[in-house]
Structure 1
Amino acid sequence: MHAFRSSCLLIFTFSHKMRSCVFSFLLMLTYFSASAHAARFDITNRCTYTVWAAAVPGGGRKLNSGESWPLDVSAGTKGARIWARTGCNFDGAGRGRCQTGDCGGILQCQGFGQPPNTLAEYALNQFQNLDFFDISLVEGFNVPMVFSPTSNCDRGITCKANINGECPDVLRAPGGCNNPCTVFETDEYCCNSGTCEPTDYSRFFKQRCPDAYSYSKDDQTSTFTCPGGTDYQVVFCPGTQAYRGLKATINITNKCSFVVWAAAVPGGGQKLNPGQSWALGVKSDTEGRIWARTGCEFNSEGQGRCDSGDCSGVLECRGHGRAPHTLAEYALKKNSYLDMAKTSLVEGFNVPVEFSSASAASCDPGIKCTADINGLCPMELRDPGGCNNPCTVFNNDQFCCKSDKCTATSYSKFFKDLCPDVYTYPLDHDSRSTFSCLNGTDYNVVFCP
């Protein structure tokens, strides 16, 4: 990544007015993956007001507060951008005008927008089949934005500062904070000669959004990459919901034909008859796990025992469970604005589990493990409550990864073959095994989906 950033001057150049970042280096690239697939961009308006989303390629769409627009973009697309338009009025034929980001007075944008507008820019499946993406303030700022991957990759970009409120007087514009090139039209700010340096105005933007482009040659810290085939989300005004730090609700449902005793740390535990659910509130910045216990008997004081997943003989779990049990694990607000979630068989398997978001527009698809693992379990891993993990059975470094150097084994491959999208041993860093969502998302954990 460091080598890529140090060579970014070869990657980005700008037009005569230097108002937009154009991926000119892409014209020289010949590598393209024949197996590349279209990317999905989930564009979500979390502002308290209506915005008119714009995308080239893609067109445009009105988004009321809370609405999303799923946009599929062809593999190999380059020189592309997404932005929000504000203060718009359009007639029935899609003709009108916007206060910021206007693209020739039409709803379905065919060209770039009018400054000021916060930009999400990208090029898909380029050098070494990488996607390149950035948030740019080269055209100024109108709404806060998050631009982040939702699969394969976990490094996104955020620009959520109060730039409009703090904008220098000379750059103020109706609906936003303008870029100095538009205001002054000089080489110092427009980089017409290609040799410009940071200015007080570019530093104003950079101090508030360190990962965003702030002027035309701001390459070293502002371009990011993900593997080709990654999906993304662009969120307008993430601060109003995605960063609010409120509880997430995890709805835990038993669809098994038998009783399970749901367990959650943090959270405790609850008996769930078939069809019953438990709505668990979890604070932001929390890491936790959820699992099903089977074959339990508890007395009126919540003391007892379970065949699988037992947590020291209490109904209200305060610690982790005894193997085997299928795990749903999560870390809310893991990297400032994303939740990370996974389903794990590192502790073995007892019941099928699905872990997914309750608001699919804001994140990746979830992860299921529904195979008949108990029925197919190797004899040496069989346990009265399920299919055990090899670390519990053999207790050696090969399976327990005590030295942090272990690799896949025949047992982890057994689990992986049956549930390809789950964690199967402690160092199983397969990108399919984790999904991410914007902080503030609610979730579903379903036993026996």
Structure 2
Amino acid sequence: MSFFKILSFSYFILDIFYFSLSFTSINAAKFVLVNNCSYTVWAAAVPGVSKKLEPKETLSFTQDSSSKVKGRIWARTNCAFNGTGNGKCESGDCNGLLDCVSTSEPEAPVTLAEYRLGADEKKDIFYISLVNGFNVPMEFSATGGTSSDCTKRLKCTGDINGRCPTELRDPGGCNHPCTVFETDQFCCLGKTCGATEYSKFFKNLCYNANTYATENVTSECPTGTDYKVVFCPQEPLISTETTFRIINKCPHPVWAASIPGGGRQLDESETWNLNVKSGTIAGRIWGRTNCLFDGDGRGKCETGDCGGLLECEGYGSPPNTLAEFSINQYNSLDFIDMSIIGGFNVPMEFSSDSGDCSRVIQCTADIIGQCPNELQVPGGCNGPCPVFKTQEHCCTSGKCGPTNYSQFFKERCPDVYSYPMDDATSIFTCPAGTNYKVVFCP
């Protein structure tokens, strides 16, 4: 073979080599594990690598993102291994091995980051699972990469270990009820289970994690995204104020009202940016209709009137669709809901507007047009309590259930409070520091 033919063949081999490197790079997902805890953890990744991580240490590995890899990542605590890599961990133990293998099942309690690369039409699916309990706070985030700009983030940082129910407590963390009770109700052995009081405990502290076996809370990114798992992520400083963007998209004026905050007229497409102090309890925002005020801010509204004042100092009169909130309360959470217990006057959306939360509550059905005759009033549809003033509808003794009237509202606005004890399906949480948006006529 001539020199030139040898040279050409060499270039051909090099081209294949560089193409192979390029292909591998494009289809490789990089994972970075960070120990931000004040103590040592023994990171485990299956498939991947396992390693002891001192505080602030990191561990990196790659996975072929085109091969539909299923994996999980977790932290083990209080481990002791001998020179051959055999030993035991208090939580997250994988068959007594330092280097976890593909058949290893982490021993509960353990917080899990789970993923499926290239799972569906060139998409990755990733999520945090508390189905095996909780041992270490965790953040699981997409960090973009050479093939994607996806930057979604999941967090589970609530004080689950400190608030763990007595019957679920374990030296290594907080067990899942399946591990403790081993019943179909908690383990979903028949694959037909749902939320329980225990799963709701986990959910309230880690709202975007899976808390029982058939729950399916996941995030997606394009295949080729890189990821980061942080143990004990540092919590950002919570702002001393929360901003509510109040927007009127109705084809007519709405007189927005807020306690705390006051009120103002919003013409079509106008916005009111309202700042509310962190720690505020029992705030509410609503819209008033068909108002007339004089130069001193005194007058009257057909619905939602608050003592004849433009700048409200007290709650409004029904009927009025309400966005309700308590800011930075239990475990650094905001509690938000929408209520039509006192009736409905304006279609509304109440949603998170920043941060890691993605809550959207809506009530946009034609309630006024379909309102029962006995609840009809000018400008709206009254709740049954303001009309009948009975225990059945007002829950004055603290005990009541749904009625035909509350079911009328609930069928049209499923995520909204329809009677005073309608907590199970109508109250939502976001991390403190989230900002919000209230839209009239979304």
TM range (shorter): 0.5 to 0.7
Q: Deviations over 1:64-116 (max 9, x none)?
A: xxxxxxxxxxxxxxx999xxxxxxxxxxxxxxxx9624155779896757889
Alignment counterpart, residue 271 of structure 2, candidates 268, 277, 301: 277
Residues 270/132 of structure 1: CA separation in 2 closer, same or farther (3 Å cut): farther
Alignment counterpart, residue 322 of structure 1, candidates 305, 317, 320: 317
Q: Distance between the aligned counterparts of 2:29 and 2:350, measured in 1?
A: 34
- Tell me, yes or no, if the aligned pair for 2:111 and 2:134 is still in contact at 8 Å: yes
Equivalent residue runs for 1:333-348 within 5 Å: 333-348=328-343
- Tell me, yes or no, if the aligned pair for 1:302 and 1:314 is still in contact at 8 Å: yes
Unpaired runs of 5+ in structure 1? Answer: 1-57, 64-78, 82-97, 138-144, 149-155, 160-205
**1:253 is aligned with what amino acid?**
I
- Tell me, yes or no, if the aligned pair for 1:80 and 1:121 is still in contact at 8 Å: no
Instruction: State the shift of 1:435 in Å.
Output: 2.2
Q: Distance between the aligned counterparts of 1:210 and 1:419, measured in 2?
A: 33
SS of 2:199 mapped into structure 1: strand
Query: Are positions 1:308 and 2:283 aligned together?
Result: no
Structure-1-length-normalised TM-score: 0.56
The answer for the alignment partner of 1:157 in structure 2 is: 158
Query: Are positions 1:260 and 2:254 aligned together?
Result: yes
Alignment counterpart, residue 295 of structure 1, candidates 267, 290, 304: 290
Query: How many pairs are equivalent?
Result: 290
The answer for the alignment partner of 1:239 in structure 2 is: 235
Equivalent residue runs for 1:39-54 within 5 Å: none
Equivalent residue runs for 1:37-436 within 5 Å: 100-104=57-61, 112=73, 121-122=111-112, 131-136=131-136, 147-148=155-156, 157-158=158-159, 218=171, 221=174, 225-226=199-200, 228=212, 229=215, 231=217, 237-241=233-237, 244-287=238-281, 288-359=283-354, 362-431=356-425, 433-436=426-429
Q: Deviations over 1:325-380 (max 9, x none)?
A: 00000111121221111111111000000000112x61242101000111000010
With CA pairs under 8 Å and 6+ residues apart, which has the higher RCO, 1 or 2? 1
RMSD (Å) for aligned C-alpha atoms: 4.1
Q: Deviations over 1:24-64 (max 9, x none)?
A: xxxxxxxxxxxxxxxxxxxxxxxxxxxxxxxxxx965679x
Residues 132/314 of structure 1: CA separation in 2 closer, same or farther (3 Å cut): farther
Query: Are positions 1:439 and 2:420 aligned together?
Result: no
Residues 218/60 of structure 1: CA separation in 2 closer, same or farther (3 Å cut): farther
Unpaired runs of 5+ in structure 2? Answer: 1-27, 34-43, 47-54, 79-90, 93-109, 115-128, 138-152, 177-197, 201-210, 220-228
Q: Distance between the aligned counterparts of 2:361 and 2:320, measured in 1?
A: 16
Q: Distance between the aligned counterparts of 1:365 and 1:264, measured in 2?
A: 20
SS of 1:374 mapped into structure 2: helix
Residues 132/258 of structure 1: CA separation in 2 closer, same or farther (3 Å cut): farther
Structure-2-length-normalised TM-score: 0.57
Instruction: State the shift of 1:434 in Å.
Output: 2.2
SS of 1:404 mapped into structure 2: coil
Q: Distance between the aligned counterparts of 1:103 and 1:114, measured in 2?
A: 14
Residues 409/62 of structure 1: CA separation in 2 closer, same or farther (3 Å cut): same
Runs of 4+ off more than 6 Å? 105-109, 113-120, 209-212, 232-236
Q: Distance between the aligned counterparts of 1:250 and 1:350, measured in 2?
A: 20
SS of 1:391 mapped into structure 2: helix
